[in-house]
Amino acid sequence: MDAVERVRQLIEIMSSNDLAELEVDEPDLRIKLRRNVPIQYSPPPGLAYAALPPQGSVPPQTALQVPGLGGEPGGPVHDNTLLEITSPMVGTFYRSSSPGAEPYVSIGTEVDPETVVCIIEAMKVMNEMKAEVPGTVVEILVEDGEPVEFGQVLFLLEPIAE
């Protein structure tokens, strides 16, 4: 059976069993299928993703390929439908522009790519971090004033439903 036929079968299995997500990891086929989320997802610039391993990754044999969102060092396990905002630098995370000021975002805040979500301070410079993706904030993973490292997940966003 060729790959396309197998994928058709998998899609059939998903709908007849009302599955939101199905993942297959076999020597000749690795695929992750999700319903109601765009399959081809290109990460916008600015979000830091784990570097592809230099050796040994089995190339998927179909065009349906979802880049893994996990794999960050010590990253939290979460529902793969959520979008991550990760830190592009090393520094100290602040939720607001100054002590006592209102936080930029809270749980439930809707953001667009240009929305400033936090500050990361590095070497005395306050860097405003933009969301880079549209969505609704569902989780804030870092405390105000906590140090953050490169690639650390700061916020989880629910993507805007299409």
Partner 1 sequence: MFTRVLVANRGEIALRIIRACKELGVEAVAVYSKADAGSQYLELADDSVCIGPAPPAESYLNVAHIISAAEVTNVDAIHPGYGFLAEDDTFAEICEESNIVFIGPRSDVMRKMGNKAEARRIAKENRVPVIPGSEGVVGDEDEALGLAHQLGYPVMIKAAAGGGGRGMRIAHNDISLKNMLALARNEAGAAFKDSSVYVEKVVSPARHVEVQILGDSHGNVLHLGERDCSIQRRFQKLIEETPSPGIDSDLRSKITRAAVRIARAVNYTGAGTIEFLVNPEGQFFFIEMNTRLQVEHPVTEEVTGLDLVKEQIRIAAGEELTLQQKRVEFRGCAIECRINAENPADGFRASPGTVRRFNPPGGRGVRIDSHCYSGYEVKPCYDSMIGKLIVHQPTRAEALACLRRALTEFTIEGIHTTIPFYRDLINHGGYASGRFDTHFVEDFLEGA
- Note the residues at the interface with partner 1 (CB under 8 A): 48, 50-51, 53-56, 73, 89-92, 122-123, 147-152
Query: Closest distance between partner 1 and the C-beta of residue 46, in Å?
Result: 13
**Nearer to partner 1 among residue 135 and residue 151 (C-beta):** 151
Q: Which tokens sit at 151?
A: 């690639």
Q: Is 16 helix (H, G, I), strand (E, B) or coil?
A: helix
Strands 125-130 and 116-122: antiparallel
**Nearer to partner 1 among residue 29 and residue 90 (C-beta):** 90
**Nearer to partner 1 among residue 73 and residue 108 (C-beta):** 73
Q: What residues contact 21, with CB distance under 8 A and at least 6 apart?
A: 32, 33, 34, 35, 80, 81
Query: Closest distance between partner 1 and the C-beta of residue 60, in Å?
Result: 21
Query: Closest distance between partner 1 and the C-beta of residue 150, in Å?
Result: 5
**Nearer to partner 1 among residue 99 and residue 108 (C-beta):** 99
**What are the CA-CA distances from residue 10 to residues 26, 109, 132 (Å)?**
13, 36, 33
Q: Which tokens sit at 53?
A: 């391993």
Query: Closest distance between partner 1 and the C-beta of residue 53, in Å?
Result: 7
**Nearer to partner 1 among residue 14 and residue 48 (C-beta):** 48
**What are the CA-CA distances from residue 47 to residues 84, 151, 155 (Å)?**
8, 9, 11
**What are the CA-CA distances from residue 75 to residues 49, 85, 144, 151 (Å)?**
12, 12, 19, 9
Query: Closest distance between partner 1 and the C-beta of residue 84, in Å?
Result: 14
